[in-house]
Amino acid sequence: MNVNVFKIAMSSPDDMSELDRLISEGQINPKHIVAILAKTEGNGCVNDFTRGFSTFVFKHYLAQKLATTEQEIADKVAFVMSGGTEGVMSPHAMIFTQEEVEQVETNGEKSLAVSVGFTRDFLPEEIGTTTMVEEVRKTVDRLIGEAGIESKDDVHFVQIKCPLLTSERISDARSRGKSVVVDDTYKSMGYSRGASALGVAVALNEVAADKVTNEAILTDWSLYSSVASTSAGVELLNCEVILMGNSAQSVSPFRIGHSVMQDAIDLDSVLEAIANSGLQLHGLPNETDKAKIVNVLAKAEAAPDGQVRERRTTMLTDSDINHTRQARAVVNGVIAAIVGDPMVYVSGGAEHQGPAGGGPISVIIRK
């Protein structure tokens, strides 16, 4: 199996020009595309329509290129659009392709492997509960196998798009005599993200299954995954999972590693994540090192107590700019300063994804 990653600039959420160029030049065969992750330039909050716009246009473009329907594209390719490119974050997409190749001898050297899958649809009353945790766990387990990853330690990034509650879904549950985890539809996003992340944590033995009770979800912040990155969307009822790691069965020219930022300015963990991907660093990355770093994928959030290194910050009391927008600007700036490129992928909202105020950080390098 061969896996490739292409990072392309986007001049707007509907800019297909770079993808089109790569396809025209034969660098990308559109049939091989399995996942597209993009940072789009909306506010990353409730009314961010740049995510839906970008997804719509990507599907439309690929359907035309492959002379098929948009529904077939949707069934085959995972789309994860993360809104919010505050500060110097540069809007871009990552195109992941996968292709069966005649088996090449890898000598046990592990390279980037990717698998994509889905849980079953959830009933409204299951969203944000241990049922969701368990279903995600099973899917992650399965995807590890499908990616040809032998050890759970070789899993470095698990992106999940998960459902949320709407007024209609809540009514549906009630009409069947069931209760939902929370009435507030906005808050249900957090529960769904948190439960999904804990599903990853249990699958990878980061957290013991018996600790993950319904009471612990969104309460016990000591429980978290170091590789999960989850986001909620209204358009689906199941979880869509993209799993990345390293496998000896892959002949990809790329490799992935990760670490966990303890807070928004945790420079050491950025260096650790780079080293974990296999790049030997002596202090800060030099130009040769930087050229090998394809992308960094990180989660950002304001610490719930509003403090960073015991200093008061004002992100949570700023009623003009949502704190997630500020957190993304900071974490992106820190990573960009180290890797010398503002085109890195930082996404907000990190319930049970890394410790409070911090978040997982993964690095993909060209070997």
Q: Which of 361, 263, 267 is nearest to 311 (CA)?
A: 263
Distance CA 126, CA 132 (A): 6
Q: Does 43 bind a copy of itself (CB under 8 A)?
A: yes
DSSP 275-322: HHTT---SSS--HHHHHHEEEEEEEE---TTSEETTEE--GGG-SSS-
Q: Contact region for a copy of itself (CB under 8 A) — 50-58, 93-101, 192-200, 201-209?
A: 50-58
Give least dist CB 250 to a copy of itself, A. 29
Give least dist CB 340 to a copy of itself, A. 7
Q: Does 301 bind a copy of itself (CB under 8 A)?
A: no
How many residues belong to the site for a copy of itself (CB under 8 A)? 61
One symbol per residue from 335 to 354: x for binding a copy of itself (CB under 8 A), - otherwise; what is it?
A: -xxx-xxxx-----------
Q: Does 42 bind a copy of itself (CB under 8 A)?
A: yes
Distance CA 40, CA 235 (A): 17
Per annotation, catalytic residue among 54, 196, 231, 252 = 231
Q: Does 317 bind a copy of itself (CB under 8 A)?
A: yes
Beta strands in 136-277 (DSSP E): 155-162, 228-232, 240-247, 254-261
Decide if 264 contacts 354 (C-beta within 8 A): no
Query: Is 161 among the catalytic positions?
Result: yes
For the segment 79-118, give every residue that binds a copy of itself (CB under 8 A). Answer: 85-91
Report the run of H or E that residue 61 belongs to, with start and end.
helix 50-65
Q: Could you give phi then psi for residue 152, rounded to 5 degrees? A: -60, -25
Query: Is 290 among the catalytic positions?
Result: no
Please tell me whether residue 244 adopts helix, strand or coil conformation: strand
Summarize as ranges the residues that interact with a copy of itself (CB under 8 A).
9, 11-14, 41-43, 45-50, 52-53, 56-57, 60, 85-91, 264-267, 283-284, 308-309, 311-315, 317-322, 325-327, 329-334, 336-338, 340-343
Tell me which residues are annotated as active site. 161, 231
